[in-house]
Amino acid sequence: DGGITQSPKYLFRKEGQNVTLSCEQNLNHDAMYWYRQDPGQGLRLIYYSQIVNDFQKGDIAEGYSVSREKKESFPLTVTSAQKNPTAFYLCASSIREFGELFFGEGSRLTVL
Amino acid sequence: DAKTTQPPSMDCAEGRAANLPCNHSTISGNEYVYWYRQIHSQGPQYIIHGLKNNETNEMASLIITEDRKSSTLILPHATLRDTAVYYCIVRVEGYSGAGSYQLTFGKGTKLSVIP
């Protein structure tokens, strides 16, 4: 079935370590997104990519990095520069011309 | 994208219609209204979207005022499984220059369906 797969679902990290969250889609969508969600908050955009080999910063890009080497994949690296990395991370994709976002099930990162 | 305003929470009796309001007074002419919902600790789910006409699908109806400054999502017969946070966002359709895919979600409305 087509969809978006995020992994891992749960991740624990020590302070000072970088961690990479995976996001893969087989929907043939051009656009992909990473959002962060904190308890009781809405979704805040970290990075998005409209096409392969191109991506733009969202509202809270500091301390994060991404790459878009393949259409299907948009990994997010949470670096040690991110001061408060503990959060729920959501990946999404959309067809370029339409706005409906398809979301993955999320990855919950906890920094110990 | 234009900002939206939603009440933080609402209750609805099971089996009754749930009417969730959204204000988007600064919406521009080419921006669509989208609704998503998020059940606890899951990824958000698309519900419906529209430009200026009322829309209906198997999940819900969307009523957009004539001036497009507000809209209402209607769940005709709410069930316990409809308990979720509902997000209203506005965005342009398609590519309209750099940054056009930046989608902003607010805090949404937490809908509690009461047995």
Q: Are B59 and B48 in contact (CB under 8 A)?
A: yes
CA distance B96 to A14: 41
Task: Note whether B105 contacts A31, CB cutoff 8 Å.
Answer: no
Q: Is A96 on the interface with B (CB under 8 A)?
A: yes
Q: Residues of B at the A interface (Cβ-Cβ below 8 Å)?
A: 32, 34, 36, 41-46, 49, 87, 91, 93-95, 98-99, 101-108
Cα atoms in the Cβ-side hemisphere of radius 13 Å centred on A40: 2
pLDDT for A12-53, tens place per residue? Answer: 999 889 999 999 999 999 989 999 999 877 888 899 998 899
Residue among A42, A96, A106 whose CB faces B43 most closely = A106
Neighbours of B87 (CB within 10 A): 25
Position B75 pLDDT exceeds 60: yes
If you measure CA to CA, which chain A residue comes closest to B100?
Answer: A50
Position B5 pLDDT exceeds 90: yes
pLDDT for A66-91, tens place per residue? Answer: 999 999 999 999 998 888 999 999 99
Mutate to test the interface with B, among A56, A89, A91, A101 (most CBs of B within 10 A): A101
Mean pLDDT along residues B38-44: 89
Q: Is A35 on the interface with B (CB under 8 A)?
A: yes
CA distance A77 to A72: 17
